[in-house]
A and B are shown apart, each in its own frame.
Chain A
Amino acid sequence: MYSKVTELWVGIFVAAAVAALFMLAMQVSNLSLAGSDEGYTVTARFDDVAGLNVRAPVRLAGVRIGRITSIEVDSTRFQAVVKMHIQSPYDNLPEDTTAAILTEGLLGAKYIGLDPGGSLENLGEGSEIIITQSSISLEKLIGQLFVNLTGGSD
């Protein structure tokens, strides 16, 4: 009953499963994209972060350079505090970089887009992005449009 062939097949079986796991890790999931966890965390305050999720990407010039790690409410200033993790190759962002909540396409997922400024100082661990632009609420925009249209006709 028990033979070398049995062992061989069980070996092949286990190896196939390990190969499948490797494929799921590297090719299918974002384990390969996560890269090293090295990097730094910066915060930014927004008036409105509606639609933004934890783990949403942080992009610079459209390229993903980090992700959002937490979204909390500052209960004294009634603003949303977004913490984002930026990968270590991108540690030379100027201090006056601005952050805006943007949308992929018209109805796509929200992400944070960074726009570098011109300062000589760089952002570091724990520093805060001062100039931010909240997410654009389509409903508010349409509401304002109506106000403007009716106001203009008077």
Chain B
Amino acid sequence: MTDFIRSLGRRFLNSIQRLGRGNLFLMQILRGLPSMVLRPRLVVQQIYAVGVMSLTIIIVSAAFTGMVLGLQLFNTLQGFGAEQSIGSVTALTLVRELGPVLTAIFFAGLAGTSLTAEIGLMKATEQLSGMEMMAVDPVHRVVAPRFAAAWVSVPLLALIFSAVAILGGYFVSVGLLGLDTSVYWGQMQAYVDWGDDVVNGIIKSIVFGFVCAWIAVYEGFDATPTSEGVSRATIRTVVHSSLSVLALDFIMTSLMFGD
């Protein structure tokens, strides 16, 4: 019994400690960010690795998400004779919710894990300690550019996701199901507001990018330097990123669209 309570206490203390370490680590990264202006090549390199490499899956999944939305909404809304509003419903769901959230979750699974594994392996093979030996701060040289690149990439990917998915919905509802083109775009423009919907969606994806980037690099940097430790860290990246994105999405939605 005492053992059980002790293990409970240990776990609790451990998670508090991890949270604290994570925040200190974030401070370190943020201090390293200004120097990235002097070395933009490091960031561009990483944007290529995490952003451009995610582009294919983002575009393909966005197209299919939009097409499925178009198909489902058309069939459901037709029952009420309201298939005209398909454009506005598709665009609002995508711009407000699905674009930022799905992009962030895809990104965590695709680029976040690769960042964690890369940094974790660097730690396991003692490349990071090697850098310290040469008086190079690994947080500034290795972690900060990756963090910056991931943070920048998520909002850009989310924008591409929303745009492609809206085109996918257009393809299905106008191209296949015979809705009128002007009805699709006209309804969309009448109900989607630039400031309330599009800008809030972008703010969401900036927050998600920050969280996903932070979790990915921290899990990598904090991983136990063994092959098992790196694999566990990778799992934690996906789980923690996805859960935080979903929870934050709920909080931000209720703040932004609550009234």
Contacts and interface: CB of A to CB of B under 8 A. Distances in A.
B44 A7 contact: yes
Q: Which of A14, A17, A55 has the most CB of B within 10 A?
A: A17
Contact of A31 (B44, B51, B91, B194): B194
A36 to B, nearest CB: 14
Which interface class (under 10, 10 to 19, 20 to 34, 35 or more) fits B?
A: 20 to 34
Nearest to B192: A29
B159 A33 contact: no
Interface in B162-178: 162-164, 166
Interface string B230-257: 0000000000000000000000000000
Contacts of B190: 30, 33
A13 interface: yes
Nearest to A64: B190
Contacts, number: 77
B156 to A, nearest CB: 4
A30 B44 contact: no
B179 interface: no
B166 A21 contact: no
Contacts of A24: 95, 159, 162-163, 198
A141 interface: no
Contacts of A13: 47, 51-52, 55, 153, 156
Contacts of B192: 28-30
A16 B190 CA distance: 25
Contacts of B164: 20
A148 interface: no
Given A28-B166, A30-B190, 15 more contacts: A1-B45, A2-B45, A7-B44, A10-B51, A13-B52, A13-B156, A14-B156, A16-B156, A20-B159, A21-B159, A24-B159, A25-B194, A27-B189, A28-B163, A30-B192
